[in-house]
Amino acid sequence: MRQKMEMKAFMAHVTKLLQLPEQALWEHIEFILDENDFVSVDEIHEGTAEIASEYSDGDFYVESRPSTNRVAACLKYHNDMISNVESKPTTLHEHLCGQLAFCDMSTRLQDFSKFLIYNLDPNGTLQIPLSEIVFDYEGEIRMDEAEHALVEIQKMDPPGVGASDGKERLLLQLSDDMVHRNILDTLIRYHFEDLTDERLPLAAQKTGYSIELIQQAMSELRYHVNPFPGRQFEERTERRINPDVEAFQNDDGQWTVKLLRPAPEFMKIHTKYEEILGNSASKQTKDHIRKEVGKVKWTIDCIQMGRETLRCVAQAIVYHQSSFLESGPNYIRPLRMQEVADQIGVNLSTVSRTVSDRWIETPQGLFPLRRFFVRSTKTYSGKIIARELALNAIQDLVDNEDKSNPLSDDQLDAQLAQLGFSLSRRTVTKYRTMADIPPSSRRRRY
């Protein structure tokens, strides 16, 4: 029973480590080294080197100092991680608060304005009713003062912030120097749904404007107005993707993989604690030392198992997706995680955790491992194909269609059949919706 409980705890620890990104894994190891006085770093393993296999339960090695090259390699690895993180950009809320100093308002009103600004969503939209914000504000503020503060915020850069919805965001950005300002004001204020649904003939009928005039006004709107003014301040942490695995063909032409990330440091027991383990030490002291050293060995074993699981999962993927690796994305095969799990003898959840945020370098480029798991669809002829291929084919047909006479779902179905995709019209409609492609009536351009 005890052995079963220990194995369960061990697998739980493996599962936890499988979910850790590479940098977090190194931080976890550093934490162990900081917390555990019984171990020291032996060496830094580069490339695909595995943790030393000669480590056994009864062996304790003499402390050794890592070489200059090994220390340099470790520092370079961690510095590369730091260099991939850019400085934090200014947020929309900080940008707006910085403009309050130029507004003609009292300190008390500026304090409320800051509170109001931080209630805007990342797009700069005020989705919460102003009355609720006034109610939640801890200071004293009248409703007319709150309305004045909101008007001042709506005058700030970028134009369109402080609006309550998409329609108001556009109206706030209309300027007097726009040629079609009055026409756009009418269209947005009273016929917004017709514009968003591309019902230009209906808008023309309601307003008396010609379709050509509405199109000219819409072109000016697209040029001058940003429907999402806050997006330029979205926090984006650009990071260089370092692959975890590389796929390549060996001399026999078989696809295989190798791990690219460095293995964790191999840890050793300090010499002084090896001496304490001598006969002069009490049983309590020996038990405590063995327990602490056992924790370290347990972590090493967990990391070893996690790396081996990653290698096995990646190897199974390249076995199934060799056509993709040789000829490109158009030759991807349907593949479920359960197939890989059954092949290597692990649970489905283990495969899912293993491929999470893991990348593979291939002759076709750098891809997340999840990219190779593709659902299937069945054609009229009974052929099983990757659903992704059908989705891409539909997208290509829509991208190249005549926008004045877009393809209906029946026409898409017919053209897909000519390309070798024998799908039902219902399936075509389903896949078009999955690809966020609107129906032909909303794709028409006049």
Beta bridge partners of 378: 384
Are the beta carbons of 41 and 70 closer than 8 angstroms?
no
Whether residue 201 has a cis bond before it, omega within 30° of 0: no
Are the beta carbons of 415 and 407 closer than 8 angstroms?
yes
Q: Kindly report, residue by residue over 2-40, the tens digit of the pLDDT.
A: 555 555 555 555 556 655 655 666 666 667 666 666 655
Q: What is the pTM of this model?
A: 0.54
- The bridge status of strand 365-368 relative to strand 359-362 is antiparallel
Are the beta carbons of 60 and 269 closer than 8 angstroms?
yes
What domains are there in the chain, each with its CATH number? 1-34+242-374 (no CATH), 92-233 (no CATH), 376-443 (1.10.10.60)
DSSP string, 278-294: STTS-HHHHHHHHHHHH
pLDDT of 210 reads: 92
Tens digit of each residue's pLDDT, the chain (446 residues): 555 555 555 555 555 665 565 566 666 666 766 666 665 555 444 333 333 333 333 333 333 334 444 444 544 544 554 444 445 678 899 999 999 888 888 889 999 999 999 999 888 999 889 999 998 888 889 999 999 999 999 999 999 999 999 899 999 999 989 999 999 999 999 999 888 888 888 899 999 999 899 989 999 998 899 888 888 887 555 567 788 899 999 888 899 999 886 565 555 555 566 566 665 667 777 777 777 777 767 777 777 788 888 999 999 999 999 999 998 888 888 899 999 999 999 888 888 888 888 899 999 999 999 989 988 876 666 677 788 888 888 889 999 988 888 889 888 988 888 887 888 888 888 888 888 888 888 788 76
Q: Kindly report, residue by residue over 242-299, the tens digit of the pLDDT.
A: 888 999 998 888 999 998 865 655 555 555 665 666 656 677 777 777 777 777 677 7
CA distance 47 to 359: 16
Paired tokens of 314: 């990646």
